[in-house]
Amino acid sequence: MRTLYIGYTLWKQVVQSNSWAVFSVADGTGSVVAFAGGVELVYRAEVDPDDYADFTGSFPTATPVVSEDEAIASVAGLGGSAQPRSADGTLQLSKQPLQLGVCAFQRTDDSTEEMGVDGRPAGAVTVVWNGDGTYWTASGTGSATTGSAHDGTYGWDTGVMSKDDEIDFTNSVDIDPDDFSQFSFWVQPKAVPGDANPKVRWKTTTGSNRGSELELNDYVSDWDLDVWQKVTIPMADFNINTSDDVGLLNFKFNKDDHHLWLDDIELTAPGAAGPYVFRVNAATGTLKHVTMAALLIVAPGAGWNPTAFADIVGGLTNGILLRHRKLSTDTVLWSVNSKDNIDLFGRYHPQDDVTFANGDLLVGFMVKPGGASVVVSDDDVLEVVVRDDLSTLSRMRAYLHYGLEVAP
């Protein structure tokens, strides 16, 4: 349960439109503080003496109570002990500062902070379709053409599509998706209508759905026309049951007039190419109000260009994926994929780079929610996903800066 402090005019509009019961606390000077809402959110407003007549006329059945804690408890149907509280245990009131903190993103596989060197060999690549070899069978909207190839002779040209058109790549037998850590393909947009958001999912060879359908917009940095880019998705994101096999890869399009070239579709076995998921959440009964997420990368100057500010292309080909997920429903609340300097400058607050005496280059990237509210709990988590071999990096760290609220 949360308390939102808003002005009286807006408060009146919200309360009347929802037909809520009203509770009020007098301050002894002709003003009152009014409360209404429900168990999830309580709206609070200060009613000045000038608005008092309007308040009593608009809400003649408002129930007076002796304290704000009692008013909030009455609205939400909770006792005073269940009200939101600051880190020191006192009732969370308007403008009361939250305890500030910093924590590191932790790897989800072993709960360590390490985001740097990985000495394992790269995982083996299995080709799904590249237009040239005898691999999976392509069908659906479009055809294989020489002009649409990213590499080799043939690629897949979808042509100009209609809403709900689909493309399937089907294997002769089902395979175990647990044998692979990542799925990738190359795409060149030729026409992208507004609000276009293609979907991708895995099925059995007979067409039965397996796992979740994912939105490509969560993994594509941009849809620049006539530019090839690689799209890489961790297999874990599909949420396929460990006992299920798959043998059909399905692309589905939600808009008319969409046109893409597709090529070099591959599955990658686990290895040094990732994916690595680094997560931060909050302990049960607490909320972390995000003030900034910071990512720091250190790499040898010989691997990156120390005179080219924030050049991540040499070390992180697939870029950096930052997302906000709800674990209980496997829902991505928002996701930002950044692959080059344009993405970084447009979506992050880059900091000045630092070149150390040993030639290593440090670059920092900061995300500040600003007026938006990003709250991390034990269920709503922030994740940094890296889908590249990290052995070219000397060190990599991500930190969350936050204000802590205790909300039993």
pLDDT value at position 69?
80
pLDDT of 314 reads 59
What pLDDT does residue 116 have? 72
Q: Match domain 2-83 to its CATH number in 3.30.720, 1.25.40, 3.40.50, 3.40.390.
A: 3.30.720
Distance of CA 170 to the CA centre of its chain: 30
Beta strands in 147-208 (DSSP E): 155-157, 166-175, 182-191, 199-203
Q: Residue 293: its pLDDT value, please?
A: 93
For the chain, the 3-state helix, strand and coil shares in percent, each to the nearest 5, are 15, 45, 45
Per CATH, the number for 125-268 is 2.60.120.260
Task: Look at residue 113 in the predicted model and tell me its pLDDT.
Answer: 78
pLDDT for 79 equals 47
- Interacting residues of 131 by C-beta distance below 8 A, sequence separation 6+: 144, 149, 152, 153, 154, 155, 156, 263
Kindly report whether the peptide bond that precedes residue 350 is cis, defined as omega within 30 degrees of 0: no
Which residues are CB-contacts of 214 (< 8 A; sequence separation ≥ 6)? 199, 200, 201, 233, 237, 238
In the chain, domain spans: 2-83, 99-120+273-406, 125-268
Q: What is the CATH number assigned to the segment(s) 99-120+273-406?
A: 2.60.120
Domain 99-120+273-406 in the same topology as domain 2-83:
no
Query: According to the model, what pLDDT value does residue 206 have?
Result: 95
Residues 6+ apart with CB under 8 A from 268: 123, 124, 125, 126, 180, 181, 182, 183, 184
Cα atoms in the 13 Å half-sphere on the side-chain side of 337: 20
Q: Tell me how crowded residue 377 is: count the other CB atoms within 10 A of its CB.
A: 17
Distance separating alpha carbons of residues 304 and 361, to the nearest angstrom: 8
Q: What is the pLDDT of residue 408?
A: 55
- In order along its 408 residues, the chain shows pLDDT tens digits of 567 778 888 888 888 888 888 999 986 667 899 999 876 678 888 898 888 888 989 999 899 988 888 888 888 665 444 555 666 666 655 555 678 899 999 999 888 877 776 767 778 999 999 999 999 999 999 999 999 999 999 999 999 999 999 999 999 999 999 999 999 999 999 999 988 999 999 999 999 999 999 999 999 988 999 999 999 999 999 999 999 999 999 999 999 999 999 999 999 999 888 888 999 999 988 889 899 999 888 877 655 554 554 455 556 778 889 999 999 988 898 998 888 777 777 788 777 777 778 878 787 888 888 767 788 999 999 999 988 887 777 788 899 999 888 765
pLDDT given at position 210: 96
- At residue 80, the pLDDT reads 47
